[in-house]
Amino acid sequence: MEIILKYFPDLTEAQKQQFASLYDLYTDWNAKINVISRKDIENLYEHHVLHSLGIAKIISFKPDTRIMDLGTGGGFPGIPLAILFPEVKFHLVDSIGKKVRVATEVANSIGLKNVTFRHARAEEEKQLFDFVVSRAVMPLADLLKIIRKNIAPQQHNALPNGLICLKGGELANEAMPFKHKTMMYDLKDYFDEEFFETKKVVYVAP
- Per CB under 6 A, residues contacting ligand SAM are 70-73, 76, 93-96, 99, 121-123, 135-138
Residue 118, marked binder: no
In SS3 terms, 49-81 reads as: HHHHHHHHHHCCCCCCCEEEEECCCCCCCHHHH
- 122 is annotated as contributing to ligand binding: yes
> CB of residue 155 vs ligand SAM: minimum separation in angstroms?
26
CB nearer to ligand SAM: pick between 145 and 156: 145
End-to-end C-alpha distance for the chain, whole angstroms: 35
- Residue 129 DSSP SS3: strand
- 160/164 with CB nearer ligand SAM: 164
Q: Is 148 annotated as a binding residue?
A: no
Q: Which is closer to ligand SAM, CB of 51 or CB of 66?
A: 51
* Closer residue to ligand SAM in complex, CB, 18/52: 52
Nearest CB to ligand SAM, comparing residues 64 and 174:
174
Burial of 119 (0-12, 13-18, 19+ CB in 10 A): middle
**How many CB atoms are located within 10 Å of the residue 180 CB?**
15
- Annotated ligand binding at 66? The verdict is no
- CA 45 to CA 22: how far, in whole Å? 9
Nearest approach, Cβ of 121 to ligand SAM (angstroms)? 4
CA neighbor of 26 nearest in space, from 45, 54, 2: 45
Q: How far is the CB of 137 from ligand SAM (least distance, A)?
A: 4
Q: What is the length of the chain?
A: 206
196 is in an annotated binding site: no
Q: How far apart are CA 44 and CA 27, in angstroms?
A: 9
Minimal distance, residue 149 CB to ligand SAM, in Å: 13
Shortest distance, position 200 Cβ to ligand SAM, whole Å = 14
Question: By the 8 A CB rule, do 97 and 118 touch?
Answer: no
The binding site for S-adenosyl-L-methionine comprises 71, 76, 122-123, 135
The binding site comprises 71, 76, 122-123, 135
